[in-house]
Amino acid sequence: MTGQPRLRPAPARLAALRPLPAGGPARAVYLALALLVVLGWVLFALRGEQFLTMENIVGIQQRSAALGIVAIGQTMVILAGSLDLSVAYLISLTSLVAAETMAGGDGMVVPAIAAVLAVSATVGLVNGLVVTGLRVHAFIATLGVGLIVAGLLDARYDGPAGSVPASFQHLGYDRIGPLPVSALLWAAVAAAAWFLLRRTRLGHRIYAVGGDAEVARLSGVRTGRVVVAAHVICSVCAGIGGLLLASRLGAGAPTVGTDGGYDLESIAAVVLGGTALAGGRGGVAGTVGGVLLLAVLDSVFNQLEIDSFAKDVVRGVVLVAALAIYARGRRTP
Amino acid sequence: MLAGAVLAALALPLAACTTDKPAPSAAPAATASESAGKGTGDQSKFFVQADYDAQMAMRTAQPTGPEGKPWEQTINAEPVDTAKYKKSGPYHLCFSNAAVDNPWRQVGWKTMQAEVGLHKEVTKFTALDAEGKDDKQISDIAELQGKGCDALIVSPNTTATLTPAVSGACPKVPVIVFDRGVQTDCPVTFIKPIGGYAFGAAAAEFLVDKVPAGGKILALRILPGVDVLETRWSAAKVAFDKSDLKVVGVDFTDGDAAKTKSIVGDYIQRFGKIDGVWMDAGANAVAAVEAFEDAGQPVPPINGEDQQDFLQKWQEAKLTAVAPTYPTYQWRTPVIAALRILKGEEVPKVWNLPQPTVTQENLATYLKPGMPPLHYALCGCEDLPGYPEKWGGRS
Amino acid sequence: MKRALPIFVVLAGLLVAIAVANPYFLEPPSLLAFVKRAAPLVILAAGQYFVIVSGEFDLSVGSLVTAEVVIAARLIDGSAAATWPVLALLIVLGPLVGLVNGTVTTVLRVPSFITTLAMLLILSGAVFLWTGGAPRGALSPQFRELGRGGLGPVPWSALILLAAAAAAIWVMRSGYGHRLIAAGDNDRAAALSGVHVARVRTVAFMVSGLSAAIAAILLGGFAGVSAQVGQGLEFQAITAVVLGGVALGGGRGSVVAAMAGAFTLEALFTLLNLYGISGALEPAVQGVIIIAAVALGAVSLPRRKAAAA
């Protein structure tokens, strides 16, 4: 309860392992994914059913595209040592902005996309500034900003609103062979994020700040800007998720984000993919694996028609088990 | 931090003044400008006069169909020919469920499974639970189309947003929609009880009848913006506006029992006495009743729903009460409809099920000792195999 | 205690604002009703304080409250005789869940955010799996008494709150309290000076679990069985603690301020309702105030995670 300012020595294990972004855990999640697919295949083969039918494969991708895109953004902020709990509300908001701007007209698609990107970037900027400028812990900052967005939604919308033109629905429903357009969009976002993290200065700084903000600052990184940038990217990803959902639903909906649980589920997918919640370690590849793992698990549950309550139990156990295994793997003296 | 306190103190009244929304609320400032001084606020934008009139007419209409099986009865049926769907069994039925996340849906879902069990010709029943997520339900409906279903039953999570998915499924398989509707008439049949206006009106008319003129009414709603709940309130508003009653508050409970109890307690304190309580759903009716008991006041006329805990409280505390219903037996009808369609028999385009009201006279018939507190009495499940254990009760 | 002062100023300001809008508020029955309503959240916040000050999170408390109420209803099933044994079971169950949370977090080294998020999923899934989706059975009048009734005009919940607060303050003044704050402040330094950090943190999770059990008993008593009785309580409790000036990340803040934070949050809800901001703008006002309170509070320590440049 002392009031004196202290410098907290960074835990040694963080510093020691920082330059190892996509190591063991990312590989582990793909191993688990492969195992799950084989297991599912055998299980359904024994029941005389087919597991990975065309509908199934398309379904897995369709179900995970929106979460996947949001989780990519969440990876960015978590790598930077922050967190974003406002994404679910932002998704709802941007789905409405998109659908209302388009209002069923083909000509308004581009302005609507621009509006969504602007709105989401603004929310991200606010998140980032509250975290860095006002020095509010990300948990409270993004929870608070999320509540503000929720208030806006409650005040303005009573239910689904707006409508997207048929041309924009191609995004949500079309596919090229077994690959839905939505999954391609997800892949593009993931690739862009991967490039940003690996090939740009900003990417390196995100790892540095998340690994140890103090060290990063001492070595000349303007840590505040990096965190703000990560938040803007995260919110823009949520905005893209909102666009995708608007195209799937044909309208905007004020509860689509919260109903989907995109806040906690995206965080779960990120850590399942081996990114450390404390920041500085992990990467996009793991997150994609984490989202796919959740989606395949869901698909198995779906085919077995498992009670949603049992699903929650299994999800919880998988989450803890995975993180315990990762923690063992990176144990250092 | 001191500045924070000042800021907070300043921000609150300020925020109260600048809101543009005519918030239906008990605050004196907000009620001053409201229509006709009834305290009921503006009419919901979900209100559709023609639908309201239709439902009001159906309340007194005579349903047709087998006696004692309300889930097979129908009102104002316009039959559609289903010969083109006729095929020989056995059948594979599929069901895309919005969610099983509340007791109403739980009771309904168990009832539907039991109904499927009655029909030997249904050899496979595939159900996917969307867990309250629109996006998942859209994928579920797409996925079910690849499973070789002979008929597809859909209980949509949201009316507007599920419309594209249902439209996509219609050309491939006969679709049966129930509970909430969709904005397309492509499904072969849409099954629903009379509807929300009938529910809201039944409760409001009871209060208008029982509460003396000038009486103070508290209206409790779960949350705004849900079509099936908005219609209930908007019909009640029509009834209250025509009456001599004064609606002193319209408040949202979020479906939370503790919040309900607190809100009712606050109103009792502020107005000294509340003369009637209107609720848009029964789940928290018992909490509202208890608020009066805990304040040491007699419980005024109130409405609930057909949940066991309320019916039991009603009988024990000798309440002046009424319970309009949104019967869970409607979960039996889609299975029956699907089989009729596959056998080429006619079904109504809109299958309006009767929607009884529990009153003092018939209370005893709906009170089912041994059933869990959140069980819905109008499940129509008493004759189904596994009753009552499957529904959590004791025989 | 200096850090605790601002929250009391805010709380006093809010209470005055409520009294201005509703003069009855300051009369004893009304004030006691307010305390009764706030008691579960205040107790939860006290429990959450232990976890937060040790540097962790507990997201599982809301789900634990729901689970306990549903379990109580099914086991008691309206029978007076079953009331006391079930109450004892609930009181044991809470810390047990905390023990699991603490062990997974400290021994398996899973971040507590994830441990307790998983516990949230597991508890709500398991309990409804057990009851078949919806609550069954009923709470007995004896069980309800603790949340509904009182000793004369004073509600039981106010007395229980008083006892819980006294116990929490006493514990925080004991050697354990000092070790807990040391562990949250700097776990390495604490470990070097002989504090068993893992044990101290695990006990904090057990305290949080116990607080959830008590809150469940009060909430179930107050309003009866419901499937969503605990919904969102974890975020409210964390918000309350943070409003009280307790730093996320651990090591700073007092339990009294955390409890005052919960009272403040409850007063804020009451005030928003009084001014008719219920529903629509309520979350927005709440969001602004939470951010403002935390930003204006002297939270200027360099945080472990986010950039604190």
The SS3 of residue A47 is coil
Q: Please report residues of A whose CB lies closer than 8 A to that of C121.
A: 312-313, 315-316, 319
B227 occurs within a structural domain:
yes
B36 occurs within a structural domain:
yes
What is the chain A residue with the closest CA to B166? A249
Q: Are residues B319 and B335 in the same domain?
A: no
- Chains touching chain A through at least 3 C-beta pairs below 8 angstroms are B, C
Inspect the interface and report whether the beta carbons of A138 and C306 lie closer than 8 Å. Answer: yes
d(CA A190, CA A69): 7
Q: Are residues B33 and B92 in the same domain?
A: no
Q: Please report residues of B whose CB lies closer than 8 A to that of A308.
A: 99-101, 129, 131
Q: Is B225 on the interface with A (CB under 8 A)?
A: yes
pLDDT band at B90 (very low <50, low <70, confident <90, very high): very high
Inspect the interface and report whether the beta carbons of A147 and C287 lie closer than 8 Å. Answer: yes
Q: Are residues B180 and B205 in the same domain?
A: no
Q: Residue B17 pLDDT more than 80? A: no
Q: What is the pLDDT of residues B266-306, one digit of tens each?
A: 889 888 899 999 999 988 999 999 999 988 899 999 999 99
Q: Are residues B80 and B184 in the same domain?
A: yes
Q: Residue B61 pLDDT more than 80? A: yes
Nearest to C297 among B1, B29, B107 (CB): B1
B395 occurs within a structural domain:
no
Inspect the interface and report whether the beta carbons of A7 and C118 lie closer than 8 Å. Answer: no
The vertex-A147 CA angle with A146 and A152, nearest 5°, equals 95
Q: What does the pLDDT read at residue A159?
A: 81
Close Cβ partners of C67 (under 8 Å, ≥ 6 residues apart): C123, C124, C126, C127, C216, C230
Q: Are residues B104 and B137 in the same domain?
A: yes
Paired tokens of A192:
């862009």
Q: Is C108 on the interface with B (CB under 8 A)?
A: no
Q: Is B80 on the interface with C (CB under 8 A)?
A: no
Per DSSP bridges, beta strands B189-193 and B175-178 are parallel
> Sheet holding B122-129: strands in order across?
B122-129, B91-97, B151-155, B175-178, B189-193, B350-353
Q: Residue A156 pLDDT more than 50? A: yes
Q: What does the pLDDT read at residue B269?
A: 82
B121 occurs within a structural domain:
yes
The domain in which residue B211 lies consists of: 24-51+196-324
How many angstroms away from the CA of B161 is the closest CA of chain A?
5
Q: What does the pLDDT read at residue A298?
A: 87
Q: Is B139 on the interface with A (CB under 8 A)?
A: yes
Q: What does the pLDDT read at residue A1?
A: 34
Q: Residue B6 pLDDT more than 50? A: no
What is the chain A residue with the closest CA to C290? A144
Q: Are residues B316 and B206 in the same domain?
A: yes
Inspect the interface and report whether the beta carbons of C13 and B252 lie closer than 8 Å. Answer: no
3-state secondary structure labels for all residues of C262-296 = HHHHHHHHHHHHHCCCCCCCHHHHHHHHHHHHHHH
Q: What is the pLDDT of residues B184-232, one digit of tens each?
A: 899 999 999 999 999 999 999 999 999 999 999 999 998 877 778 889 9
Q: Is B138 on the interface with A (CB under 8 A)?
A: yes
Q: Residue A231 pLDDT more than 60? A: yes
CATH number at residue B93: 3.40.50.2300
Q: Are residues B128 and B153 in the same domain?
A: yes
Inspect the interface and report whether the beta carbons of A130 and C109 lie closer than 8 Å. Answer: no
Inspect the interface and report whether the beta carbons of A323 and C291 lie closer than 8 Å. Answer: no
Q: Are residues B170 and B276 in the same domain?
A: no
Q: Residue C212 in contact with residue C44, Cβ under 8 Å?
A: yes
pLDDT band at C120 (very low <50, low <70, confident <90, very high): very high
Q: Which residue has the higher pLDDT, A153 or B17?
A: A153
Inspect the interface and report whether the beta carbons of C114 and A132 lie closer than 8 Å. Answer: no
In order, the DSSP letters of chain C are -GGGHHHHHHHHHHHHHHHHH-GGGGSHHHHHHHHHHHHHHHHHHHHHHHHHHTT-----HHHHHHHHHHHHHHHHTT-STTHHHHHHHHHHHHHHHHHHHHHHHHTS---HHHHHHHHHHHHHHHHHHHHTTS--S---HHHHHHHH-EETTEEHHHHHHHHHHHHHHHHHHSHHHHHHHHHHH-HHHHHHTT--HHHHHHHHHHHHHHHHHHHHHHHHHHH---TTTTTTHHHHHHHHHHHTTPPTTSS---HHHHHHHHHHHHHHHHHHHHTT-TTTTHHHHHHHHHHHHHHHTT--SPPSSS---
Inspect the interface and report whether the beta carbons of C285 and B11 lie closer than 8 Å. Answer: yes
Inspect the interface and report whether the beta carbons of B225 and A158 lie closer than 8 Å. Answer: yes
Q: Please report residues of C whose CB lies closer than 8 A to that of A226.
A: 307
To the nearest whole percent, how much of chain A has pLDDT over 90?
Answer: 62
- ipTM score of complex: 0.87
Q: Are residues B309 and B210 in the same domain?
A: yes
To the nearest whole percent, how much of chain B has pLDDT over 90?
Answer: 62
Q: Please report residues of A whose CB lies closer than 8 A to that of B139.
A: 59, 62-63
Q: What is the pLDDT of residues A197-225, one digit of tens each?
A: 999 999 999 999 999 999 999 999 999 99
Q: Are residues B32 and B110 in the same domain?
A: no
Q: Residue A15 pLDDT more than 50? A: no
Q: What does the pLDDT read at residue A330?
A: 65
CA of A292: how far to CAs of A34, A136, B21, in Å? 10, 33, 43
CA dihedral C275→C279→C281→C284, nearest 10 degrees, is 120
Hey, CA dihedral for B60, B61, B62, B64, is it positive or negative? negative
Nearest to C248 among A9, A140, A154 (CB): A140
Q: Please report residues of C whose CB lies closer than 8 A to that of A327.
A: 108-110
Q: What does the pLDDT read at residue A53?
A: 81
Nearest to B103 among C5, C134, C222 (CB): C134
B376 occurs within a structural domain:
no
Q: Residue B27 pLDDT more than 60? A: no
Q: Please report residues of A whose CB lies closer than 8 A to that of C283.
A: 147-148, 150-151, 154
Q: Please report residues of B whose CB lies closer than 8 A to that of A157.
A: 225
Inspect the interface and report whether the beta carbons of A155 and C304 lie closer than 8 Å. Answer: no
Q: What does the pLDDT read at residue C278?
A: 58
Nearest to B161 among A250, A261, A305 (CB): A250
B375 occurs within a structural domain:
no
Other residues' Cβ atoms within 10 Å of the Cβ of residue B223: 15
Q: Residue B35 pLDDT more than 60? A: no
Q: What is the pLDDT of residues B146-193, one digit of tens each?
A: 888 999 999 999 888 888 899 999 999 999 999 988 888 999 999 999
Q: What does the pLDDT read at residue B8?
A: 41
Q: Residue C189 pLDDT more than 70? A: yes
Q: What does the pLDDT read at residue A329?
A: 73
Nearest to B224 among A158, A160, A253 (CB): A158
Hey, CA dihedral for B385, B386, B392, B395, is it positive or negative? positive
Q: Residue C243 in contact with residue C261, Cβ under 8 Å?
A: yes
Q: Is B10 on the interface with C (CB under 8 A)?
A: no
Q: Residue B25 pLDDT more than 70? A: no
Q: Please report residues of C whose CB lies closer than 8 A to that of A317.
A: 118, 122
d(CA A143, CA C238): 11
How many angstroms away from the CA of A166 is the closest CA of chain C?
32
B387 occurs within a structural domain:
no
Inspect the interface and report whether the beta carbons of C275 and B263 lie closer than 8 Å. Answer: no
Per-chain mean pLDDT for chain B: 87
Q: Please report residues of A whose CB lies closer than 8 A to that of C247.
A: 137
d(CA A247, CA C124): 32
Q: Residue A292 pLDDT more than 80? A: yes
- Chains touching chain C through at least 3 C-beta pairs below 8 angstroms are A, B
* C residues 207..246 contacting B (CB < 8 A): 219, 222-229, 231, 245
Inspect the interface and report whether the beta carbons of A251 and B129 lie closer than 8 Å. Answer: no
How many angstroms away from the CA of B98 is the closest CA of chain A?
11
Q: Please report residues of A whose CB lies closer than 8 A to that of C294.
A: 134, 136-137, 140-141, 144
Q: What does the pLDDT read at residue A97?
A: 96
Q: What does the pLDDT read at residue C3?
A: 56
In chain B, at which residue ranges do the beta strands (DSSP E only) sit? 79-80, 91-97, 122-129, 151-155, 175-178, 189-193, 216-221, 246-252, 276-279, 302-303, 321-324, 347-348, 350-353, 357-358
B374 occurs within a structural domain:
no
Mean pLDDT of A167-190: 92
Q: What does the pLDDT read at residue C2?
A: 53
Q: Residue A191 pLDDT more than 80? A: yes
Comparing A201-210, B12-21, B31-40, C125-134, the range with the smallest average pLDDT is B12-21
- How many domains does chain B contain in total? 2
Per-chain mean pLDDT for chain C: 89
pLDDT band at B74 (very low <50, low <70, confident <90, very high): very high
Q: Are residues B317 and B216 in the same domain?
A: yes
Q: What does the pLDDT read at residue B253?
A: 87
* A residues 107..166 contacting B (CB < 8 A): 154-155, 157-160
The SS3 of residue B367 is coil
Q: What does the pLDDT read at residue B36?
A: 52
Q: What is the pLDDT of residues C222-274, one digit of tens each?
A: 988 888 889 889 999 999 998 888 888 888 899 999 999 999 999 988 888 77
Q: Are residues B157 and B233 in the same domain?
A: no
